[in-house]
Amino acid sequence: HEDWFLDRDFRDHFNNEMFNGVEIDDTMIRIGAMNLQLHGIENPNLIKNDALSESAGHIRNKYSLILANPPFKGSLDYDAVENSILKIVKSKKTELLFLGLMLRMMKTGGRAAVIVPDGVLFGSKGAFVQIKSEIIEKNKLDAVISMPSGVFKPYAGVSTAVLLFTKTGTGGTDKVWFYDMEADGYSLNDNRTKIKEDDIPDILDRYHNLGDESDRARTDKSFLVPFDEIKANNWDLSINRYKEIIYEEIAYAAPSEIIKDIEIIDQERNQALAALKEMLG
């Protein structure tokens, strides 16, 4: 939309208000600011703060789009977390608290794309169920993209997924789109070298054409799962819960026939060995 930059109001919004970030670490703030300026954003709005704390509690119903890769496996005491987040999800786990934070920060109609560890998908108790039911039943979960475990190597090997959801406050989840990513264009070891296999173009194409996904079978890489089925499974979002695997039956010969074949191979081997000895005198 290069023509948008001809509009002065849009240019001012782009350079001063469009891009926002909350970060507790000074070094990350500096790196983020430099990165944004190198990409043409003159005055990025980066706030140094603990996003989960009371001091950031005034940031609510503000953003139209949130992209995040929040900390995993962290733990906070309840008194360190802003109260409205705990009303959404009563937990000490950072991967759950940040999902509650996003719902608080987004305006109605706002969208989020967030990376979560697999444990969030299949967690079946307490806060795991609480936050998933909040997103699915009271808002709108659009998609779950499962990623292979090596995508964050060499830094981490944990299996992850991307959740895409929209804040509505009134529900709206009808069918959730699942995709089983197997490759992202790089090897899944510590080297992460570029490879030919890459599901990302296919993911983008299918996500923008979800109307064509309704007839896809559960054996395919992507498929739709209705709201009622997810609710009946206690809000389980792990793709293996819904994906169907076709097992091919392989018929093997009887043991007696296999032994007979081995004896024939041994006989031929012995004959070849004898011929070789004779050739060598």
Residue-wise pLDDT for 220-271, tens only, equals 999 999 999 999 999 999 999 999 877 777 888 888 888 888 988 998 898 8
Which amino acid, residue 119?
G
Residue-wise pLDDT for 56-94, tens only, equals 999 999 999 999 998 887 778 888 899 999 999 999 999
The answer to whether the pTM exceeds 0.95 is: no
* Beta-sheet pairing, 184-186 with 175-180: unpaired
What does the DSSP assignment read for 166-204?
E--SS----EEEEEE---EEE-SSTT--EEEEE-HHHHH
